[in-house]
């Protein structure tokens, strides 16, 4: 019985240390990889604000529990991210620490107003949109690296 209790305690300890922290996704979307390498295949996708349990780290990567895999460390933050929250003014004396991942509120609504005030830039913004639409699928990137003999 004592051994069983010790075993359970050990399991609890290791389970706790394996997933050491709760973090939140702070990028628009991130691919979860099967191994800590960008060119490895995706095992899932997480969106802005998703909560993850993180564990081991390797270089710029951190392991997560669900879906089981690896994501770049720069894609998560310990601060709270609530994408559905009403953007609320926290007061002039507020500390940004208390509002978790808080900024000044620069968002598409502010960009739209900035564009309205600077109509000469509207055409340039549409070119930025075009540039953002030029995405590279992972298989194409892998093929490009292989054809270029880029050993990693």
Partner 1 sequence: MAVNAAHAIDIGSAIGTAITGAQKVAEASKDITPSEEHYIGRSIAAMVIDRYPLVQDPALTQYINKVGLLVAYSSDRPETYGGYHFGVVQSSEANAFACPGGFIFVTTALLKEVGSEDQLSAILGHEIAHVAHRDGINAIKKSKWTDLGFYAAGEAAGKFSPNEVKELTGAFTGVISDVGKKVIESGYSISDEKKADSAGVRYASAAGYDPNGIVAFLQTEAEKGIDTNRGPFASHPKTDTRIKELKAEIEKENLSRQVADVRTNRYKAIARR
- Specify the residue, 18 or 146, whose C-beta has the smaller distance to partner 1: 146
Q: Which stretch binds partner 1 (CB under 8 A): 5-13, 14-22, 62-70, 102-110?
A: 102-110
Binding residue for partner 1, selected from 52, 113, 119, 139, defined by CB under 8 A: 113
Residue whose tokens read 């107003």: 113
Cross-strand bridge partners of residue 90: none
Q: Which is nearer to partner 1, 15 or 150 (CB)?
A: 150
Smaller CB separation from partner 1, 8 or 143: 143
Q: Which of residues 51-80 bind partner 1 (CB under 8 A)?
A: 60, 71-72, 74-75
Q: Which two tokens stand for residue 25?
A: 């996704």
Question: Would you give the DSSP letter of residue 100?
Answer: S
CA distance 54 to 62: 6
Q: Give yes or no for residue 106 binding partner 1 (CB under 8 A).
A: yes
Q: Nearest 5 degrees, angle CA 24-CA 138-CA 60?
A: 40
Contact status: 49 vs partner 1 (CB under 8 A): yes
Looking at 13, 41, 111, 139, which residue binds partner 1 (CB under 8 A)? 111
Is residue 46 a contact residue for partner 1 (CB under 8 A)? no
Q: Which helix (H) or strand (E) holds 64?
A: strand 61-64
Structural contact between residues 53 and 62, judged by C-beta atoms closer than 8 angstroms: no
């Amino acid at each position: 019985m004592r051994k069983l209790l010790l075993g359970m305690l050990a399991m609890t300890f290791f389970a706790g240390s394996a997933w050491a922290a709760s973090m939140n996704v702070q990028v628009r979307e991130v691919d979860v990889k099967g191994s800590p390498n960008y060119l490895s295949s995706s095992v899932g996708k997480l969106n802005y604000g998703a909560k993850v349990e993180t564990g081991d780290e390797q270089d710029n990567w951190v392991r997560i529990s669900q879906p089981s895999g690896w994501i770049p460390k720069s894609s998560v933050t310990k601060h709270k991210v609530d994408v559905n929250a009403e953007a609320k003014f926290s007061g002039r004396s507020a500390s940004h620490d208390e509002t978790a991942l808080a900024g000044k509120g620069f968002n598409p609504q502010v960009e739209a107003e900035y564009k309205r005030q600077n109509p000469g830039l509207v055409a340039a913004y549409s070119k930025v949109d075009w540039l953002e639409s030029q995405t590279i699928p992972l298989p194409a990137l892998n093929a490009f690296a292989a054809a270029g003999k880029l050993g990693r």
